[in-house]
Structure 1
Amino acid sequence: MKIHLLLASAGMLFFVACDQVGRDSGASDEAVLAPEAPQDVWLADFAAMQRFAELAGGAEEAEKFDDAAIYYERAFVASDKIPSPTGLVFGPQSAVSYVKAGSPDDALRLLEAAAEKGWTYAESIEAAEEFATLRDADRFKAAVAKMRANQDAFAESHRDPDTAKLIFDDVERFWAAYDLASKETSKSKKAAILRKHYLGPGTPGLIDYHRIKTGTMEQFVERLEESPGYYDGIRERTLMAMEFETDIRDGLRRFVDIYPEASVPDVTFVIGRLNSGGTAGPTGMLIGLDVWSWTEGVPLDGISEGFQQVVKNLDLNSLPFIVVHEHIHALQQYSGEPTVLYAALIEGSADFLAGLAMPEADKPHYYKWGLEREEMIWRRFQEEMDTKNIQNWSGNNGQVEDEDWYADLGYFIGARICEAYYEQAEDKSKAIRDLLFVSEPNAILKASGYAERFDD
């Protein structure tokens, strides 16, 4: 850690020294000013942030927590120059690694820095087991208080579903970049065009989505080249998404009606590489229209059989429901050990609460299959719920080849547990809050009484 601080200090001294040289040599103020940077210059900082995060992940796996902490901190610092809050997450991640490395003061310093830069997830930080040894420290309490103030300020400024931003700008920008890239044969040139013309001038939400889901533009280009017919076929449909704005706002309004504490972050619609129909990040809800826009006759070449079934089962008319589902994710603050049960409650609560707000909406495609086989699914889930064997339960569309099993059943069983928890609760508003702020998944399961349904 001392080396890292020394490097940072040396960098600062370097810039101060350069400025002084210019002044001492008689140069004018104008002469030492750097020219205005191109709009997409931040992409270099984004790439650095990604590489630092990648190195941090490798160090974590090797249990080299000193190294992981420094790499995460460097990612956090690099994020300062990115026009999106997407890199804020690396502050708390660095703090976790510093705790594991036995450096509590550095962990507190990173939590303080994250709070100052706008981190809002106070409850998840306060409940995180990794920070148990810090909870009594005044600095920890002050950092959490600052995060809570950030959270409250954000909520107060985002209460009204009618003023939340629904951002479609990146969709047209993608297709313009797509047309430019299609004139090239080189993968690297295509990737460069997408970076410059799609990501470079993109919205904060697109940047957020790119970090969380897209990965790299090279990966994106591979998907475009594997499935050109699919992308050509969905273009018109993706451009229709803004027609659902009224229904989307109605869905958000209904959720606020049943949970008045809710804030309503912005919603950004993007085109991705067919690996996520929706997620949530620091910017709000993020919707991948590429997953929702298939219609009969659009080619499915290059897409796995499992994911073909996904896009065939999804429809653009479901956008209002999926936006509310992602709205739930944007509000959630889960903490604790990431088990199969934990993951099931994260997704299941989003499904259940979205359905509570929109009871007329069609249930997701896995529900019909699940309801007909619920006890069988529960028995298998019960055996694996305390493990980390998530591949049988979520994001496994491309892996399910057995007719006796179905994809994303973690969503289904999680929603059924959440429904049981809500039904048994006398205070329904508290039950909703409980499902948004989970630190002990097994306590939710026990209180729900769901398991008792299958007792012999």
Structure 2
Amino acid sequence: MTIPRSLSLALIVFLLSGAAVAAPASETIHRPTVSSTDIDHFWDAYDEALTTDDPARQVQILQRRYIDRGTAGLKAFMAVKGYTAQSYVDAIRAYPRYWTSVRPHTLRARSAIAELEPELRKFQTLYPRLRPAAIYIAIGALKSSGTTQDDKVLIGAELATGDDSVDTSDMPPKMRDWLATYFRSRPFETMSLLAMHEFVHTQQRGPGSTLLGQALYEGVADFVAERVTGRKPQLPYVEYGPANETAIKAAFVQQMDGENTDGWLYNDTDNAFKVRDLGYYVGYAICDAYYRKAADKTAAIAGMIELEFTDPKAVKAFVDSSAYFAPARGGD
């Protein structure tokens, strides 16, 4: 099963018409593009690569059939994550059961793309200064379900379209445990939430220069994406955070002004709570407190998105205005 190129183009037109309707009359919005053609190219290369056992030949095939034919999004994804043709061959050879089982999942990307049109409309309603960004759904080499580069949203379909039926049995234990947690959240069902989270990042001035700044950078993306989609990620930090907020705050305050994000962000469980990505929760909770205090909700959303995350003073002023840490610091 493949995604016809004509269908991909039709989806682009569908999304672009929605973005145009959402644009305020006083503004001209350059229309974004959405592409999933890299998925087709990957599986073409994959099928040919499996016709030989020669690793060097497989690298040549991945380069020629996938990378050389890639969109600007694939090239950006590879640059951000350090992917090479060798990266893909290594992953294919190491995890054959994984790739066989995830293939039909990746081909569902077209239905997720269709869901983005109303989400982009709502985003522009909430944030009228929304700048254009292209969305690319490609196949990565198991490093990221979603990231950005400048005005490009980059989705890794080999992760973002999965669920707990994907076979991870040929992976090392740590990787298998991480993917089991991720796939239990059924990311495909909330792929539009991931896309909106990453779309927020294309609008921000970041990332942050401290743990607090980076946690807020991610928390803003989570918070705004929830306002757009009405959904939260089905990941452990979302439930664990509110239930253990006092202890999390106390621990976070001790480290938040430093540059080290270990234990708080990016799938690191090296913390007292043994829960991944609690920094996302802290950033989200700060935004929630800020938003609740704001009389002008539209201005509050703009203030979050346009915050200078690289400026510790600006970050501190924003956080202080939320009063989120006031109890942890001894009250008002």
Give the TM-score normalised by structure 1: 0.61
Is 1:443 aligned with 2:317? yes
Matched residue, 2:259: 388
SS of equivalent residue, structure 1 residue 276: coil
Matched residue, 2:11: none
Measure the CA separation in 2 of the matches of 1:401 and 1:349: 23
Indicate conservation of the 8 Å contact 1:344/1:414, yes or no: yes
Indicate conservation of the 8 Å contact 1:328/1:353, yes or no: yes
Is 1:412 aligned with 2:286? no
Matched residue, 1:260: 128
Structure 1 or 2, whichever has the larger Rg, is 1
Equivalent position to 2:105, from 216, 228, 237: 237
Equivalent position to 1:310, from 144, 164, 182: 182
Look up the equivalent residue of 1:417 and give its one-letter code.
I
Matched residue, 1:293: 161
Indicate conservation of the 8 Å contact 2:67/2:85, yes or no: no
Matched residue, 2:296: 427
Q: 1:216 to 1:178 in 2, by over 3 A?
A: same
Is 1:334 aligned with 2:206? yes
Is 1:351 aligned with 2:243? no
Q: CA deviation at 1:402?
A: 7.2
Matched residue, 1:183: 51
Measure the CA separation in 1 of the matches of 2:200 and 2:133: 10
Matched residue, 1:167: 35
Q: 1:190 to 1:250 in 2, by over 3 A?
A: same
Matched residue, 1:271: 139
Measure the CA separation in 2 of the matches of 1:229 and 1:260: 45
Counterparts of 1:129-148 in structure 2, within 5 Å, are: none
Q: 1:226 to 1:262 in 2, by over 3 A?
A: same
Q: 1:190 to 1:246 in 2, by over 3 A?
A: same
Indicate conservation of the 8 Å contact 1:214/1:220, yes or no: no
Measure the CA separation in 2 of the matches of 1:348 and 1:383: 19
Is 1:281 aligned with 2:149? yes
**1:346-401 CA-partner distances (Å, limit 9, x unpaired):** 11100000111222x244412012121111111111111111221211113xx527
Counterparts of 1:355-374 in structure 2, within 5 Å, are: 355-359=226-230, 361-365=231-235, 366-374=237-245
**1:150-189 CA-partner distances (Å, limit 9, x unpaired):** xxxxx8342xxxx532201000111111111122323332
Q: Structure 1: any 5+ residue segments left out of the alignment?
A: 1-154
Measure the CA separation in 2 of the matches of 1:418 and 1:425: 10
Equivalent position to 1:209, from 77, 83, 87: 77
Matched residue, 1:325: 197
Indicate conservation of the 8 Å contact 1:255/1:357, yes or no: yes
- Residues matched between the structures, number: 294
Point out the more displaced range, 342-351 or 311-320: 311-320
Matched residue, 2:66: 198
SS of equivalent residue, structure 1 residue 384: coil
Q: 1:245 to 1:206 in 2, by over 3 A?
A: same
Indicate conservation of the 8 Å contact 2:145/2:155, yes or no: yes
Q: CA deviation at 1:433?
A: 2.0
Q: CA deviation at 1:405?
A: 1.9
Measure the CA separation in 2 of the matches of 1:343 and 1:401: 17
Q: 1:314 to 1:387 in 2, by over 3 A?
A: farther
Q: Percent identity?
A: 28
Point out the more displaced range, 445-454 or 308-317: 308-317
Compute the RMSD of aligned alpha carbons: 2.1
**1:5-35 CA-partner distances (Å, limit 9, x unpaired):** xxxxxxxxxxxxxxxxxxxxxxxxxxxxxxx
SS of equivalent residue, structure 1 residue 279: strand
Matched residue, 1:62: none
SS of equivalent residue, structure 1 residue 392: coil
Point out the more displaced range, 196-205 or 274-283: 274-283
Look up the equivalent residue of 1:183 and give its one-letter code.
T
**1:86-111 CA-partner distances (Å, limit 9, x unpaired):** xxxxxxxxxxxxxxxxxxxxxxxxxx
**1:52-104 CA-partner distances (Å, limit 9, x unpaired):** xxxxxxxxxxxxxxxxxxxxxxxxxxxxxxxxxxxxxxxxxxxxxxxxxxxxx
Matched residue, 2:28: 156
Indicate conservation of the 8 Å contact 1:164/1:266, yes or no: yes
Give the TM-score normalised by structure 2: 0.82
SS of equivalent residue, structure 2 residue 135: strand
Q: 1:364 to 1:430 in 2, by over 3 A?
A: same
Look up the equivalent residue of 2:319 and give its one-letter code.
L
**1:279-303 CA-partner distances (Å, limit 9, x unpaired):** 1113421111111233344221215
Look up the equivalent residue of 2:137 and give its one-letter code.
F
SS of equivalent residue, structure 1 residue 285: strand
